[in-house]
A = this chain, B = another copy of it.
Amino acid sequence: MSKNIKISNAIIRRLPRYRRYLGILQTKGVKKISSNELSELIGYTASQIRQDLNTFGEFGQQGYGYEVDKLYKEINRILGLDREYRTVIVGVGNLGQAITNYTYYYKIGFKIMGLFDVNPKIIGNWINDVEVMDYSRLEDYIKEASIAIGIICVNRENAQDVANHLVAGGVKGIWNFAPIDLIVPDNVALESVHLSDSLHTLSFLIKNKNQRTNIK
């Protein structure tokens, strides 16, 4: 990817989806696919797909289509999934445990190195060979273990404090599940999953059935 290109938010959101479908094609043994066939599958127009993928270089050949393996690998590289991210999870409640156990992450390079909580009853426990440590150790541990990503699974009231410690420790990115818009410096990447927002959107869609076709 050229360093001077600014990729739009919309393309960034579409890339993981391309990756997902290419992964399915791979497991089915499909070797090549045209933008029209991809369009049928993913739901974006063929011209949108060609435009998106051209942003990052020449992946397809006119009249031949895309090589599935190659494109999958390239998208992995573009997404930064060709490396390992040493990761910690803060907040080992139900959601934190669910994320810890979501073994899928291990397969794609998000390695959970440590878990942190303030509850003395669970500090010292091990979940999937990962120790639950005292929250007061978080900042030092991030420095010692060169942690790249912090996952926040605490409640709204404590989330900004956790983010501050993660940033002070030197993480490169934060994956936030608390229902709050965190403030972090520009050099730290932030991605939030607002579960309640998503559920409220579903509620809206149920109430307003005529909206359905408007949603992609």
Closest CB-CB distance, A113 to chain B, in whole Å? 16
Known pairs A204-B79, A209-B187; A199 contacts B97 (CB<8 A): no
Residue contact B110 to A102, C-beta cutoff 8 Å: no
Once the chains are docked, how many angstroms separate the CA of A101 from the CA of B12?
32
**A70 adjacent to chain B (CB < 8 Å):** no
Name A103-142 residues within 8 Å CB distance of B.
Answer: 104-105, 108, 110
Chain B residues near A110 (CB, 8 Å)? 199
Q: How many copies does the complex hold?
A: 2
Residue contact A211 to B7, C-beta cutoff 8 Å: yes
Once the chains are docked, how many angstroms separate the CA of A102 from the CA of B174?
21
Residue contact A214 to B80, C-beta cutoff 8 Å: no
Residue contact A200 to B19, C-beta cutoff 8 Å: yes
The total of chain A residues at the interface (CB under 8 A) is 68
**A207 adjacent to chain B (CB < 8 Å):** yes
Residue contact B207 to A79, C-beta cutoff 8 Å: yes
Residue contact B214 to A149, C-beta cutoff 8 Å: no
Interface string of A159-202 (1 = CB under 8 A from B): 00000000000001111000101000011011101111111111
Residue contact B191 to A16, C-beta cutoff 8 Å: no
- Among candidates B17, B187, B211, residue contacting A197 with C-beta atoms closer than 8 Å: B17
* A174 nearest in chain B by CB position: B202
Closest CB-CB distance, A85 to chain B, in whole Å? 7
Residue contact A206 to B172, C-beta cutoff 8 Å: yes
**A61 adjacent to chain B (CB < 8 Å):** no
**A8 adjacent to chain B (CB < 8 Å):** yes
* A110 nearest in chain B by CB position: B199
Residue contact B16 to A196, C-beta cutoff 8 Å: yes
Residue contact A181 to B15, C-beta cutoff 8 Å: no
* A205 nearest in chain B by CB position: B189
| A-B pairs with lowest CB-CB distance, top 4 | A80-B207, A189-B205, A16-B197, A98-B98
Given contact pairs A79-B204, A110-B199, a sample of 14 additional A-B residue pairs in the complex whose CB atoms are under 8 Å apart: A8-B214, A9-B214, A12-B211, A80-B203, A80-B204, A149-B202, A172-B206, A186-B213, A187-B209, A187-B212, A189-B202, A189-B206, A191-B199, A191-B201
